[in-house]
Structure 1
Amino acid sequence: MAVFLFLVLVSAGVFLDTTEAQEDLSKLPENYKKVVELAVEQINSHQTIKSVFLFFKSLENSAIDGGFGVSYIYHRFYLKATRCPKGTANANPTNCAFRNDRPLIDCGICYKTHAGEIQIEPKTYVHCVHKPQLTQDLLKMRVEHCNKMSYVNGSPSLLASTKL
């Protein structure tokens, strides 16, 4: 009886874990979802990855308003390994339970949007690393790169233009 109760509690915990993660992803704005999908695609394309990684949880995000419909966005989140093998079609937290025996992957992404669309230039910066290898220096480097990215605009503003 105690074993059965334990199994029910563990199963409920796994279900709550996956449901919470899926809710977080569905609550993200569309631009955030697109770059999360980009990171998931990049991680899952590595040859050393054996199981599918999916979005697990947002840690932080920020946006700098550049004016004239331009925004610079930073999003940090975790990816977590699932029980589905690499190559599984339609992998999602509902049909691929998260594993607790693999380290999380910490991702930081920064990118530029204009009128809600992700811009090609500057190129979207994706930096993902297994959480145990993430150091303060790597975090600092990631943030510095994203801060520099938000100032590479270089184009004159409308206020600097003159009418002839």
Structure 2
Amino acid sequence: MAVILLIMLGSAGFFLGTSEAQNDFSELPVNFKKGVELALQQVNSHTGIKSHFLFFKSLDKSDLDGGFGVSYIYHHFNLKPTKCPKGTTDANPTKCAFRNDRPLIDCGICYKIHVGVIQNEPKPYINCVFRTQLTQELMNMRFEHCNNMSYANGTPSLLTVSKP
């Protein structure tokens, strides 16, 4: 009886964890979702990736209003592998359960968005690596890159804006 109770509790925790991650994504503002989708497209199309990845959780984010429908976005988040193979369409945590035996992918991205469309200039910066390969040097490089992107003369630094 105790074994059955443990299995039921473990299953409940598993489903709570997957739905919680999906809720985190659904609660993101639209401009942040677009960046996550861009990063997911890049990660899931990489030749070395075998599993399908989905958004797991946000770690840090900022949004600088540039006026006239322009925003400058910085987002630091994790992606988690699923049990679905790469190339799965219509993947979500209920169909493609998260795996706990593979490392997370840590992403840092920044981009300019105008009226809901990610702009090509300046080129969106997407840096995603396996969490096991993340170093302080890489974190500093991301920070410097996003901080130095040439958005517009006189625009304050994206990363100095307080978090929402």
The Cα shift of 1:88 comes to: 1.8
In structure 1, what is the equivalent of residue 152 of structure 2? 153
- 1:20 aligns to 2:20 (yes or no): yes
Give the Cα–Cα distance (whole angstroms) in 1 for the partners of residues 110 and 148 of structure 2.
Answer: 11
Give the Cα–Cα distance (whole angstroms) in 2 for the partners of residues 23 and 130 of structure 1.
Answer: 23
- Aligned pair count reads 154
The Cα shift of 1:30 comes to: 1.2
Structure 1 segment 48-127 matched on structure 2, within 5 A: 48-127=48-127
Give the Cα–Cα distance (whole angstroms) in 1 for the partners of residues 53 and 129 of structure 2.
Answer: 13
| 1:74-95 superposed Cα distances (whole Å, 9 cap, x missing partner) | 0010000011111222111111
| 1:40-64 superposed Cα distances (whole Å, 9 cap, x missing partner) | 1111111221111100001110122
In structure 1, what is the equivalent of residue 2 of structure 2? 2
In structure 1, what is the equivalent of residue 137 of structure 2? 137
In structure 2, what is the equivalent of residue 158 of structure 1? none
The Cα shift of 1:109 comes to: 0.7
Runs (5+) with no aligned partner, structure 1: 156-164
The Cα shift of 1:131 comes to: 0.7
In structure 1, what is the equivalent of residue 36 of structure 2? 36
Higher relative contact order, structure no. (Cα contacts within 8 Å, ≥ 6 residues apart): 2
The Cα shift of 1:154 comes to: 4.6
The Cα shift of 1:120 comes to: 1.4
Q: Percent identity?
A: 67
Runs (5+) with no aligned partner, structure 2: 155-164
| 1:90-145 superposed Cα distances (whole Å, 9 cap, x missing partner) | 11111111111111100011001234432110011100011111011100100110
Q: Over alpha carbons, which structure has the higher Rg?
A: 1
Give the Cα–Cα distance (whole angstroms) in 2 for the partners of residues 89 and 49 of structure 1.
Answer: 15
Contact 2:105 2:130 in 1 (8 A): yes
Give the Cα–Cα distance (whole angstroms) in 2 for the partners of residues 14 and 73 of structure 1.
Answer: 32
Give the Cα–Cα distance (whole angstroms) in 1 for the partners of residues 73 and 100 of structure 2.
Answer: 30
Higher deviation after alignment, 14-23 or 3-12: 3-12
Q: Secondary structure at the match of 2:95?
A: coil
